[in-house]
């Protein structure tokens, strides 16, 4: 079965981005180029993200690819206003949990959860996230867009590995199965 994996970076105080969606604090952190991003991305053939993440990524990339290490990656953008996409990008207002349940049953590579709380938290609440790869940058933002928000139950993961890439600390967690 395909794995559902979050892979992303946060500040020490748990923010994915500033309130205005900036990531300059992350890009100023040495070590990102040392992380095994290419190896992770080569195992992914589906990326699920929110509209803000998609728009930011498209504005920042010259090659217009969410996953440059697998250009055939299917991008699914969660939005309240779906519109026509293209061969690699689908815009939908479907339930992210139902979408992931369907995708897990199909053949394919791993599913990368790119975005923040709007995508990640419903999947965590439904116990659908298999792994978390969280890179922590040594900066306190004070406010911003958090990675996690409240859910109505605890969910346990086990720590699989920790790595240091320059000034980034990466923790890798796997969901405990009961």
Does residue 120 belong to any structural domain of this protein? no
Q: Would you say residue 88 has pLDDT above 80?
A: yes
The CATH number given to whatever domain includes residue 51 is 3.40.430.10
β-strands 168-175, 157-165: how paired?
A: antiparallel
Mean pLDDT, the chain, whole residue set: 91
**Number of folded domains in the chain?**
1
What is the mean predicted confidence (pLDDT) over 12-37? 90
Please check whether residue 98 lies inside any domain of the structure: yes
H or E element that contains 74: strand 74-78
By residue range, what is the domain housing residue 147? 21-109+125-153
Domain-located, residue 6: no
Q: Within a domain: residue 12?
A: no
Is 178 within the bounds of a domain?
no
pTM of the model: 0.92
């Amino acid at each position: 079965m395909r794995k559902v994996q979050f892979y992303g970076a946060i500040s020490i105080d748990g923010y994915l981005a500033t309130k205005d969606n900036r990531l300059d604090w992350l890009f100023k952190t040495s070590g990102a180029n040392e992380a095994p991003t290419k190896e992770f991305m080569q195992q992914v053939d589906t990326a699920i993200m929110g509209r803000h993440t998609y728009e930011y990524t498209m504005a920042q990339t010259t090659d217009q690819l969410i996953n440059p290490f697998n250009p055939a990656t299917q991008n699914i953008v969660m939005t309240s206003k779906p519109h026509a996409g293209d061969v690699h990008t689908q815009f939908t207002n479907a339930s992210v949990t139902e979408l992931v349940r369907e995708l897990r049953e199909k053949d394919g590579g791993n599913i990368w959860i790119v975005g923040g709380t709007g995508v990640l938290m419903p999947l965590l609440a439904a116990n659908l996230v298999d792994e978390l790869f969280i890179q922590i940058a040594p900066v306190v933002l004070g406010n911003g867009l958090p990675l996690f928000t409240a859910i109505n139950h605890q969910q346990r993961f086990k720590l699989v590995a920790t790595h240091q890439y320059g000034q980034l600390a990466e923790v890798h967690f796997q969901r405990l199965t009961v």
